[in-house]
Structure 1
Amino acid sequence: MTLLTMLVLAAVVAVAAFVQGALGVGFALIMAPLLGVLLPGLMPGALLLLMLPLNAAVAWRERGSLDWGGIRRITVGRVAGAVLGLAVLLAVPAGQLQILVGVATILTALVTLAAPRFEPNRAAFLGAGVVTGVTETATGIGGPPLALVYQHRPAPVLRATVAACFLIGEVLSLALLLGTGRLAWEQAWLAGLLVPPLALGVVLSRRAGARLAGPRFRMLILGFAIVSGVVCLIPTG
């Protein structure tokens, strides 16, 4: 890995951490394609290791806003969704599934623009967890379902709760990679080198996140979901 590659990664990590720290979503959407192109051999372990301190920091920073009931239900759904996602991958070609996820995400975001305000119930949390588990297993993008289900909640609640849900999922994923021998020292080394720019992005995001609230925050979340859907439509093969 050249010095230029490392500098590019550090800059993008800082920006991605800033986005996630302010919105509560976006880090994986920004970093996964870049790492996949520059250092595909270090995926997904390096990305998951980077997201551990990121989501831990965001969840701790806004721990007073954690929605523990939502976290429990989303986690239950997410575990079931991951199992379902593995089964779906055996039946549906990855490219077709990714396109389906992208179209569904875009349509859901567009429909919610005109939908009346709602408060998510138990079924909504479980459903978001299931869809997150399926889409993360299939495409690596799991933020949109959680962002959409929390779009009408205060910004600190979304940021803290989504970070906690991601943190739990990342621990489970890393344990699986470690147990199957797919977590290499090189992945941990790269993640460690990128922690300083990641921390800088989180620190800078605090003030920006405090200014995001109400309709403007909701529009940013819906915009993130639409961009995620578009990314899913981009061929990867």
Structure 2
Amino acid sequence: MTVIALIALSVLIAAFMQSTTGMGFALIVVPVFGILQPSLLPGGLLLMMLPLNAYVAWRERKAIDFSGVKWITAGRAAGTFGGLWVLVAVPLTYLNWLIGGSTIVAALATLAAPAFSPDRRAFVASGLFTGVTETATGIGGPPLAMVYQHSPVATLRASVALSFLIGEVISLLVLAVNGRMTADGLGPLLWLIPAMVAGILASHTVHTRVNPRFLRLSVLVFAIASGAFILIRG
């Protein structure tokens, strides 16, 4: 029960962050799952994010960038199969170094870059990279957050949530077909639903007050922290 309580606390905090800023769930939850309940990675994490992202996308559905989501999904579909191949072909240590290092470099580059409006190639590239990283490591938020970093806050949250929702379904199906997604060890997820709901409800008090400048800084800090965590895990 102590383990479940600690995991539930991390889920509550992560759900609050994801519902408020549109990112952060995997970064908070993956280390906790990895230490206390490794059987929940990556399948359990992806399953938990389905209702969370569905809710955020529905809550701010009027702000969704459907064109961007379409191209992200196209890249994500290809990236998911790439991620599965990477899981088999590349030693995990090398994979973590590659993904972590490239994420940090991309975040630092966008920190110095002027404001931009992403085009089709940027959306496809971010979807492709997300498909690889989330299927292989469970963390896929930085590319999507960075591509929308100059967009309105609601657009970032809703578009990233919808992109994640579609991509997570694809990743789960691919993992299941290839025998990397089973029901073993997923029982604790039922105990975590109340914590996720509590985090979502708590976000209602602040999600409309997020400052765009603060959100962009949060995006870049989130990306750098994600990259650092993956590097350390490597």
**TM-score normalised to the size of structure 2?**
0.93
Measured after TM superposition, the shift of residue 91 of structure 1 is 4.8
Aligned residue pairs, count: 233
Unaligned runs of 5+ in 2: none
Greater alpha carbon shift after TM alignment, 40-49 vs 209-218: 40-49
CA contact under 8 A between 2:176 and 2:182: conserved in structure 1? yes
Q: Which amino acid aligns with 2:231?
A: L
Please point out which of 32, 35, 38 is paired with 2:36. 38
Give the Å deviation of 1:30.
1.0
Q: CA RMSD in A?
A: 1.7
1:14-93 pair list within 5 angstroms? 14-93=12-91
What amino acid maps onto 2:66 in structure 1? W
- Residue among 91, 94, 100 paired with 2:92: 94
The offset of 1:172, in angstroms, is 2.0
**Alpha-carbon distance in structure 2 between the residues aligned to 1:181 and 1:219:** 36
Cα distance, 1:44 vs structure 2: 2.3
Aligned counterpart in structure 2 of residue 111 of structure 1, from 93, 102, 109: 109
Tell me, in whole angstroms, the C-alpha distance in 1 between the residues paired with 2:214 and 2:41: 34
Which residue identity lines up with residue 68 of structure 1 in the other structure? Answer: F
Residues 161-184 of structure 1, C-alpha deviations (whole Å, 9 max, x = no match) = 111111112222233344437321
CA change 1:186–1:126 in 2 (3 A) is: same
Partner of 2:181: 182
Greater CA drift, 41-50 or 200-209 = 41-50
Conserved 8 A contact 1:24-1:162: yes
Task: Decide whether aligned partners of structure 1 residues 175 and 80 sit closer, same or farther in structure 2, where only a CA change above 3 A counts.
Answer: closer
| Partner residue, 2:197 | 199
Residue by residue over 1:48-72, the C-alpha shift from the partner in whole angstroms, topping out at 9 and shown as x without a partner, is: 2211111111111111111111111
- 1 CA distance for matches of 2:168 and 2:82? 18
User: Where in structure 1 are there 5+ consecutive unaligned residues?
Assistant: none
Query: Which of 186, 208, 211 does residue 213 from structure 1 map onto?
Result: 211
Offset at residue 206 of structure 1 (A)? 2.4
Between the aligned residues of both structures, percent identity stands at 50
Provide, for residues 35-91 of structure 1, a one-character-per-residue CA deviation record: whole Å limited to 9, x for no partner.
Answer: 121111233222122111111111111111111111110000011112233444555
2:220 corresponding residue in structure 1: 222
- Farther off after superposition, 43-52 or 224-233: 43-52
Which shifted more, 143-152 or 75-84?
Answer: 75-84
CA 1:96–1:213 in 2, change beyond 3 Å: closer, same or farther? same
1:46 touches 1:190 (CA, 8 Å); kept in 2? no
